[in-house]
């Protein structure tokens, strides 16, 4: 495979074409790398990644609060050196991503206007107008970037990547949309790119001509005005002429974040065709591309078509750090699929450690590792959804005797429903992976079994995990029990046929996804929602939110917000809006208004004296992350 051929970046040989894409991790108190940072990155090297790129690391905090890691002090080199040494033990190379700051994108301080190229609105706090970075500050940051790069080189880092991407500070200077300066750093293309050029020149000066420099660049903002493609191509051409050693390209902006950071709703390799335009003008630099490339066939195709020279994988390597070795050894059915939920980024933007919904050890590689069982306990898991399956698999991995009961004739629970729409293949793939793991391990599985307290008492387990999930809610308005009224999950699982004119009750996550799926099938769909807009209660990553809203908009379905369902008739629904009673014709009504937990069985088991725990939606309706993590940890700490 081309993926596993050596690649060259200046004088640096990379053992394969796979890079860990840069993703941020919380830093130590002084900005340096924590032991958890090191363990996380080294695990990816151990898994076969050729090039490890760290998350964004700033060179200074003089002009803004430190938003991430920082490397500007000789005494931070001990930890960075340890990271470099351990990455090298597995034959991988280490690249430190360096940035002069994030400028108008600062999300930390809502009271102090951040610095930017010009007095433009702050992204996170639009009422704050940015301060123009003084020339003296620009010069200081250029020097700081050079010094940080030299420190990294002295620590044993193999390459640095200049972060000129994503709407952050360098990008604010190169963009004609944001840069309104009239001095030597604004106006013409040459002036707007001066900051970036000076940084590269300073790194060359401090590190020598043989030390590789990469640049991460946004080639265009797709749906926004920040970066037209022509400007991105011109910057790429300039970098090529400057003899930069690797160009890492992406697309998008924060106002269309899903073009920038992959979401569950996107197709694999969504940036490949656009990046081919870069390859037409770049003559010397190898090019690296990212964007949902954790399918070996997609990554291989990008290399074969010369769309890229290196493949960067982010979320896929959070879900499975051993993706490269499993792919190389044709153990594809063992790869842990990313579900595209964006919880990794969502948590990081909330100041938490980078995590993964489907792999609880991500970010806690040593802290959350499993230990072999010391007692021969009989574990009973009731419920075969994601949490229940994860608990059963984890118990088998530890060496316990495991029995799993599931009321349905299939495994997956609500995760099967979540993966049913055609644009949720990532979720469906993970359900298939969990099912494979159930059958791979020595788990006594019983499907189609409605367990009661008598069954548990007769079985007499040592420990019970109750993961029976939650039941969908149906609002009991007049007519709710008519034959043409059903639940979203029955529609998505094709348990019930529906007519052409459909009203979906509920504009939350499930309602919107169901409505889009039905629209794609050719149905005439209307969403009715009590709140003043859709997705008001969804707590998910902004890229997924934006992408789903885009699908809703493109589908052409109708939305009735601030509307209360009052009655379901044979051929219509009645709703109240602005004090007026109105009607929508339909021949099917689909409820997607949420779920309700029922802990009766758990309480009976607990009161009967069995050691037990309740997890996932059975505690309260939540996320896949909650169910899988709770299932894993309920057994890990046992």
Q: Which residues are catalytic?
A: 168
Which pair of structure tokens corresponds to residue 389? 């399956």
- Hey, is 130 helix, strand or coil? coil
Identify whether the C-beta of residue 23 lies closer than 8 Å to the C-beta of residue 165: no
Per DSSP (E only), the strands in 178-212 are: none
Residues 6+ apart with CB under 8 A from 625: 341, 343, 355, 357
Closest CA to 95 of 83, 79, 107: 83
For residues 342, 51, 175, 540, the Cα torsion angle rounded to the nearest 10 degrees is 0
The count of other CB atoms within 10 Å of the CB of residue 334 is: 16
Which pair of structure tokens corresponds to residue 580? 């007026």
Distance (Å, whole) CA 311 – CA 193: 26
Strands 595-597 and 470-472: antiparallel
What does the DSSP assignment read for 262-286? --TTSPTTTTHHHHHHHHHH-SSS-
**Sheet with 564-568: strands ordered across:** 564-568, 572-577, 580-585
399: left (phi over 0), alpha (psi -120 to 50) or beta: left
The count of other CB atoms within 10 Å of the CB of residue 377 is: 17
The CA-CA-CA angle for residues 607, 608, 612, to 5°, reads 75
């Amino acid at each position: 495979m081309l993926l596993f051929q050596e690649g060259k970046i200046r004088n640096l040989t990379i053992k394969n074409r796979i890079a860990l894409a840069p993703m941020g991790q919380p830093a130590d108190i002084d900005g340096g790398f924590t032991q958890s940072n090191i363990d996380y990155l080294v695990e990816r090297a151990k898994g076969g990644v050729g090039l490890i790129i760290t998350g964004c690391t700033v060179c200074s905090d003089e002009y803004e609060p430190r938003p991430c890691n920082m490397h500007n002090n000789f005494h931070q080199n001990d930890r960075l050196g340890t990271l470099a040494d351990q990455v090298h033990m597995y034959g991988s190379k280490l690249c430190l991503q360096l940035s002069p700051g994030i400028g108008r994108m600062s999300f930390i301080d809502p009271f102090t206007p951040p610095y930017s190229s010009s007095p433009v609105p702050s992204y996170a706090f639009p009422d704050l107008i940015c301060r123009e970075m003084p020339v003296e500050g620009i010069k200081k940051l250029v020097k700081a970037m050079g010094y940080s790069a030299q420190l990294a080189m002295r620590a044993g880092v193999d390459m640095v990547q200049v972060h000129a991407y994503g709407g952050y500070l360098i990008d604010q200077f190169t963009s004609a949309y944001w840069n309104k300066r009239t001095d030597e750093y604004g106006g013409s293309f040459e002036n707007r790119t001066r900051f970036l050029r000076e940084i590269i020149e300073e790194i060359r000066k401090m590190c020598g001509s043989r030390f590789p420099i990469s640049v991460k660049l946004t080639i265009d903002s797709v749906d926004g005005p920040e970066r037209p493609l022509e400007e991105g191509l011109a910057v790429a051409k300039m970098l090529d002429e400057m003899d930069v050693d690797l160009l890492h390209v992406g697309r998008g902006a924060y106002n269309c974040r899903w073009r920038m950071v992959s979401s569950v709703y996107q197709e694999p390799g969504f940036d490949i065709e656009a990046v081919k335009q870069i390859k037409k003008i770049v003559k010397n630099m190898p090019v690296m591309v990212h964007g949902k490339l954790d399918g070996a066939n997609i990554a291989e195709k990008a290399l074969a078509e010369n769309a890229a020279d290196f493949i960067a994988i982010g979320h896929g390597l959070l879900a499975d750090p051993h993706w490269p070795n499993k792919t190389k050894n044709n153990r594809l059915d063992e790869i842990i699929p990313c579900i595209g939920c964006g919880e990794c980024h969502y948590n990081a933007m909330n100041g938490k450690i980078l995590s993964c919904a489907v792999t609880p050890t991500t970010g806690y590689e040593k802290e959350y590792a499993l230990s072999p069982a010391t007692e021969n306990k009989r574990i009973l898991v009731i419920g075969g959804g994601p949490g229940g399956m994860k608990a059963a698999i984890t118990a088998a991995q530890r060496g316990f005797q495991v029995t799993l009961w599931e009321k349905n004739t299939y495994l997956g629970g609500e995760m099967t429903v979540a993966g049913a729409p055609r644009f949720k293949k990532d979720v469906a793939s993970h359900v298939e992976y969990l099912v494979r793991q159930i059958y791979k391990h020595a788990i006594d599985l019983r499907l189609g079994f409605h367990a009661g307290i008598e069954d548990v008492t007769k079985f007499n387990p040592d420990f019970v995990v109750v993961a029976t999930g939650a039941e969908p809610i149906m609002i009991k308005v007049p007519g709710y029990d008519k034959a043409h009224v059903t639940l979203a999950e029955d529609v998505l699982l094709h348990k019930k046929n529906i007519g052409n004119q459909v009203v979906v009750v509920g504009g939350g996550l499930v309602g919107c996804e169901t409505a889009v799926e039905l629209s794609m099938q050719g149905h005439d769909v209307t969403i009715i929602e009590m709140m003043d807009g859709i997705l008001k209660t969804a707590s998910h990553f902004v890229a997924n939110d934006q992408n789903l809203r885009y699908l809703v908009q493109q589908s052409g379905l109708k939305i009735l917000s601030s509307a209360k369902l009052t009655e379901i008739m044979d051929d219509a629904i009645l709703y109240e809006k602005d004090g007026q009673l109105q009607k929508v014709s339909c021949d099917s009504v689909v409820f997607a208004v949420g779920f309700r937990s029922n802990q009766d069985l758990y309480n009976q088991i607990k009161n009967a004296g069995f050691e037990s725990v309740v997890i996932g939606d059975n505690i309260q309706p939540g996320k896949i992350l909650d169910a899988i993590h709770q299932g894993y940890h309920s057994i890990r700490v046992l």
